[in-house]
Structure formats: C-alpha cells, structure tokens
Structure 1
C-alpha cells in the first residue's frame, strides 16, 4: 500500500505548464516521469484516479488513461485493481532507454572537485587516529580540537565564538534535519526562500513544518517588504535563509535587508537558521556594499537565537561529510540531547582530516574563488554564443548561475537532455509546487572541460526535437 496519496489538485500544481507539441498523453506521462525521477513525487506515492485527474486538468479520461498506461509500460507505475496506481522506479533493463556512449555527465550536483591538500591531510589524520581510538567512538558533539578550530575561524571572521557553541555534524544536510526535528513542532510555520535548496524543504516538511516562501531572484535579490510582511502575518517559528551566494540564484542579501530581517525575527520570536555552506565562495562581490564576509549572526543587535550552519562540502570536498552548527550553548545542548534519536555521532577520521585542513582554509577558499570566476566568465561567454536567447546572470560568488530560458521549458529540457547523456536538474526542483519552469541551474563548480561539454549537450537538446517524446531513463539525482 502506498504511504502517500497525491490529490489531483496537488499533482496539477506539481505538473505546472506541462503541455507540449507532443500528444497530450505523452506530454503528461513525460512530466509525471520527471517528477518521479527528481524526487518531487516520491516512489510509493498513490496517484489520483484517472477520472479525478482528467477533471482537474480538463482532459478526457482517455488521455489520462493512455498516460498512465505509458508509465506502467515504462516501469514507473504499478496499478492494482481496487488500490489505484502507485509510483515506482523501473528495475527491468527493458524499461530503460540505452545509455549514451560514455555514460552520463551529471550536472545535478553543484559539487567542487577535491582540493589537493586532502591526500596529505588524510594520511596525517590516519597517523593521529590511534591517539583517539580509546577516548572517542560515538561522538555526538564533535572533537574539542575541531570545534576549537571552527570557533576560531568564526572569531576571525568577526563573530566571537566559543567551542561550546559548536556542534560538528555529518554535513550541512544533517545539520538542517537535526535542527528541524529538534526545534520545530508539527504545524509550526517556517519561512523559506524560493527558489532554495530542495533538501532543506524536505527536512523541514519531514519535521511537520508548514512552509511559507519569500521570492529571491538573480536580478533583484530579496524583497525586504515581502520578508517583513511574512514575519508580520505569520510570526514563523523559524526562518531558513541563505543570504550569501544563495543557491541557486547566486544572490547576496544587502546589509540593510539583513538588519531588517534580524529585527523582524527578534520582534516575532523567530529562530533564524542561516545556511553558510556557500558563504565563503566569493569571486568578486563589491566590497562597497558592506558585505565583507562577516557572518550574518555578527550583525549589530542580531538576536542570540540565530543558528548558523556551515560545512566543508563546497570548499574542501563534498565527499568529506563534515558540517557544523553554531548556536548559543542552550541550543547546542538541546541538539546534543536529541541527536541520538537519528545518529550516534560524526566519524572521527573525517573530523581529524578536517582539523588538519582548517589552517589551510584561507588558501583553499581563495583558490576556489579564482577557479569559480574563470568558469563563470567562460560559461557566460559560451552561453551567449550558443544560446543567445537565454539570459545568464553574472554571479559574483557561489556555485551556480540561475539561467532564464525565456520560456517555460525547464522540465522538458531536463528530461530531453537525459537522452543526450546530460543529467541536469529542472528549475521547479528548487521551488514549491511547480514554480520556476523558466529557469535552469547550471553549476560553475565543475572543471571547464566538463562544463563546456554540458553546454554543448544543452545546445544540442535545445535545438533538437526536444518537444517530442523523450524515453525514460532510470536515474534518480540527488541535488546538492
């Protein structure tokens, strides 16, 4: 039996603008397939009845029946008389399209290559490990030496921090989920940005939160009045924000907007969760805007309830699963008490490795900025040449650019690109209920040869018969 039942109304919202030049049943089947592939419809979800969906979409029942039949034949749907139609991923090789020669180029993750210092750091950490094998095993708060190094880095950036205000986590996503399930009650309102990091939405919803979204754009950033109105109207229990080199837009929140958001949060008793996983990836952000890399929580008059999340996933390497939470001591104690319900601590060897790398972080971050800037500049020029109808913002930091396609074709393009060997995430994955069909996130964090290849594949897809039927591919990406 399916664990989730999706209503016709909810599915219609997720579908967005799904109609193409292809027959209606194929267009509908392709869009549902993409929603399953990128996780917006979880595997095991019961879809609405054919008649119910047909009425909601103003289609004939025959069209919906044909779409469901195509999904069943491709292995994405299982229908049982009396139990409805349940989503799944195909397992039989016959259900899959042939993999293009050379495999897939995966641009679903805005990931950085490992920094060269990692090899020596791992070797040193392994040599140090015997010293810790009898005193550390299930480490719920983090090794003192690493917490001290993280605290020292915050202090150097302008936010005085004590090691007791740091908890080490298994990456930033673990931190978000732990904060959500510890500090939220079912039904609490949480303010988020839209678009934003999709796994944050998922963690907040899993904790029972009701999400309200304030828009962020590459061109204009945040509307401070909209943010303030959200606080005034809903008094949210929590707000999850990414104010520096926002993922996916690349925008940075102006200093005055930060002050007004912090003041609004304090007035309404809202816990601010500030995600700084991309905060140090500065390329060439203007310093005359007052943004010098100082943490949000260091704002004059900022409430003590600000929680800051960081990690090494976007600076050192995503395969090194170390993140952290910086918060007041009482909050850290709550998180430590609640943590054992979900995990029993952070791996010691990974912590030792990051500890070895912390003294080199300034140099690592500086090199990342140079590499990101070179890729950004070449990507902007290449897209202007190959796809001049697209609008490509020139971000001044972060891991990606949020490209405006000029038409609502992101999901269709993403699905079609798979048959050309490129996996890239459609814009709606970063929104709520089907928004951002005009946008595509293109990472700037990959080596240039791969980025150039991705642009060529996008160009081929865009100029090919992308409006026809696209075969299903068994690939479920994880957005980072």
Structure 2
C-alpha cells in the first residue's frame, strides 16, 4: 500500500495554524485533498505522533482530526495497521441525498424529480375502480400486470421498435430495474463501462457486484463514439450503462448516428448495453427526433429501462425493462430474491396514464421549460462566473463552478439549500468543479434558491467568503 510521510501531508494541507478549532481545519484540508484527487484513496496516512511533531501541534489535535475524518468516512483504521484514506459509502454517508428528509425547511435541490401532473388524480380514481377485477387473485405477478405490459409494448412499437408484452417486465421503479439487470448479468471482476459523469446508483450496484468500473467521459456536447467503443473493446466490458436521452446530469441527447455506431461497437466488443430511458419523454425544445437505442440492435444486446417517475410521478414507483422474452423471464425469477411483484394499484394507475401520454407531455414541456428558463436567467444574472450549456430537455443543468462543489454544498446547508455536488456523479472524488442543479421546481422557488446559492458562494456558512485559500480551512 502506498503511503504519505508526515512532511508530505503537512506540505499538501497547508491549514492555517491560526484556525480555530485547528483540528477541524486539518481534517477539512485532508478531506478537500482527497476529494480533489491530490491524495489518492487507499493511501496510508502518517502516524498521529509523526504528523503532530511535523505540524508542531499536540498529538491530541491530530487524533481529533483523524477521528473526524473517520466519522465522515474519509479515513479507515485498523489496530496495528495504521490509517488509510477512503471515500464515504454513499449508502451510509450522512449527506446521502436519498436519505434527506423532506419538510426539513431546506430547498431540496439535490433531487431532480418533478411533482405529480394534473392527470394523476383522475388516473388513480379510475385505477381504484379497476381493482375489483384483480382482487380475486393473489396480486403477485413477477412479470407485471398484462394490461400494463401491453401498454408498454405498444409504446415501444409506436416508436419503431416492434415489441411483444412477453418482452416486458414491470419493476418497482427504474432503480429496481437497473439493480435487477446488473445483479443478474454482472459477475465479480467483470468490467462495466459507465459515463462520467453518470447517474450514481447503477455505478454503486455494479460495485456491490464486485465489478470493475470503466469510465468514459461525456460533456454537454455529447458522446465521443470512438471513446465509448474503445472503452468497451479495451476493457472487454460485460455491460455498458448509458443514458442517451437527456443524460443525467449533463442533459446531452445522443443523435441517431451515434446510437447506431455505439450499438455496432457493442456488438463487435460482445458488450451488453443497459440503456436508461428515464428522461426520454421530456424534450422541452424542438429537437430532431431520435430512435430508441433498441432500434439499432441486431442481436438482442440492448436492454432498455424506463420509468413512470419523471414523466408522471416518482411516488408511483413503477419502472420496466424491455429485453428478450427469455431474459425477461430470467429477470422475473431473479427478482424473487428482492421482491415478489410490483404493487397492483400503482401498475393500474400507470396503465391509465399511458392513455394520457400526450396530455402529460404537454404539461411537462410547459412547466419544465418555464422552470429551466427561470434557472438559466437567474444564474446568468446572479452567478455569471458559472458556465453551463442549456439542455434541450430533461430536468437538470450541469454547471461549471468557480469554486469547489463539496464545500459549497456544506455552506449551502446554512443558507437553507441541499445541493448535489459534482463528485456524487463521478469516480474517486472527481468532478469537484461541477454542480448539478435541477429545474424540476417552480420558477419562484428556483429564484429564491439562486439568492441563497449566491449567498452560500459569497459568504460561506458564517460570513466567510469561499475563496480558494479559505476552502481548505472551512468548518
């Protein structure tokens, strides 16, 4: 294992000796260096005694700093083996965005999820009326209700991809769908290609399976097809996770020629493509029509995942997988280790909502476009140093900052904001210079959020400006 000497750590951290309490400044300095990649993960830190002597502080001070780093998940220790750098487990970290309590008085800008559309109540009432005909059975259908699978299959067929209901399995949300596919197909040691930045949950699911994560860069300008092809070929990837439709977080849209090229490259590399279409129905501007990635699939290696969460409502917790009939059946058998079936009432609601697809598209386009434009104009007015590309759809801006994202997110809590800093969407502490901002909130709320965001950037949590020199000493 690599190690750092006490002299090297002292030179890197450069914490202000006058900072009070000093142990927090020291811990924050080490954490910032880990997040920026200047101190790699799994590097042995110097012994507390040696670092205290080098810094000319008490050993108690260094012990307190190490304790704070361990508490935050940036340091691991074992008796007799020393301490080494780490990254917090997203499933248990205190700033995990999915564990944030709503209604805590903070503006929830860490989550990109729109509220329910106007048609939801009517669809729910109709679904309740449908319940009696299903109540005579046991309610367990691992593949999903036939009425919903038929509508999903018809949806794909209308988009130019002939699909039978047997090719559809209904899941308890898209995240459940992604976990099922990864859990069934990925073995320990397999290479899995992911975009960078990317939606974090599939990456974590692959890690839990013991996979090797192979990142390929993407920007708001889109994908470099030769880089994607090279990553699949050189790594011998078992699976590649892609989000070609208004990519989260960049908002990029993959054009059809690139989709065709990526599908062809996957075929030559022997890689399965796990394609997340969660944002696919949320075009906000007039964009050239694109085809589902499955339209370019000639040998059944494209697995498509969809969801009711963005077009309709996340509270429904209904997603689906489109694949071969054989793999759909295998997924249904595999899911028994996770759950038995998705809720019947919610499936009936989504089946009814498919009958209102165009109506919901129009509502989402109107409301999200207004929110996007408000967020864009507010940032340009109040934070002109930050740069971004305006996406043509989806629900998020990927913003390049003039400061570090993680300290900004910590400071924002004191100003009533929860944020999604760039490292949530990257690997090993990368993307510290970026922030994902959703435009799924009403324009008025976003205007207030920008005011708070500017205050957090300018003044930190307690009136201290977030300059580069002050970031490492920030409590």
TM-score grouping bracket, smaller chain normalisation:
0.7 to 0.9
- C-alpha contact (below 8 Å) 1:34/1:415 kept by paired residues: no
- TM-score, normalization by structure 1: 0.81
Which string of whole-angstrom CA distances, capped at 9 and with x for unpartnered residues, describes residues 231-288 of structure 1? 221221111000110000000112222111101111122111100000111011532x
| 1:294 maps to which of 263, 274, 291 | 291
- How do 1:71-470 residues align onto structure 2 when only pairs under 5 Å count? 103-218=105-220, 220-287=221-288, 292-299=289-296, 302-407=298-403, 409-464=404-459, 465=464, 466=466, 467=470
Q: What secondary structure sits across from 1:331 in the alignment?
A: helix
Rounded to whole Å, the distance in 2 between the matches of 1:55 and 1:296 is 56
Instruction: Tell me which moved more, 61-70 or 191-200.
Output: 61-70
Which string of whole-angstrom CA distances, capped at 9 and with x for unpartnered residues, describes residues 430-462 of structure 1? 001011111100001111122112111110001
- C-alpha contact (below 8 Å) 1:107/1:424 kept by paired residues: yes
Name the counterpart of 1:475: none
- TM-score, normalization by structure 2: 0.82
Change in CA separation of 1:390 and 1:171 when aligned onto 2, cut-off 3 Å: same
Kindly tell me the number of residue pairs found equivalent between the two proteins. 433
Name the counterpart of 2:65: 67
Which string of whole-angstrom CA distances, capped at 9 and with x for unpartnered residues, describes residues 394-451 of structure 1? 11001101001134x1111011111111011110100010111111000011111221
Q: What secondary structure sits across from 1:340 in the alignment?
A: helix
Shift of 1:134: 2.2
Q: What secondary structure sits across from 2:429 in the alignment?
A: coil
- C-alpha contact (below 8 Å) 1:262/1:303 kept by paired residues: no
- C-alpha contact (below 8 Å) 2:15/2:29 kept by paired residues: no
Change in CA separation of 1:47 and 1:69 when aligned onto 2, cut-off 3 Å: farther
Q: What secondary structure sits across from 1:319 in the alignment?
A: helix
Shift of 1:29: 3.1
Which string of whole-angstrom CA distances, capped at 9 and with x for unpartnered residues, describes residues 291-319 of structure 1? x14211112x5432100000011110111
Rounded to whole Å, the distance in 2 between the matches of 1:163 and 1:279 is 20
Q: What secondary structure sits across from 2:306 in the alignment?
A: strand
Q: What secondary structure sits across from 1:373 in the alignment?
A: helix
Shift of 1:53: 9.3
Shift of 1:75: 12
Instruction: Tell me which moved more, 143-152 or 252-261.
Output: 252-261
Q: What secondary structure sits across from 1:51 in the alignment?
A: coil
Change in CA separation of 1:231 and 1:285 when aligned onto 2, cut-off 3 Å: farther
Long gaps (5+) in structure 1:
1-5, 10-16, 39-45, 91-98, 472-480
Rounded to whole Å, the distance in 2 between the matches of 1:73 and 1:212 is 29
- C-alpha contact (below 8 Å) 2:72/2:93 kept by paired residues: no
- C-alpha contact (below 8 Å) 2:153/2:168 kept by paired residues: yes
Shift of 1:144: 0.2
RMSD: 3.5
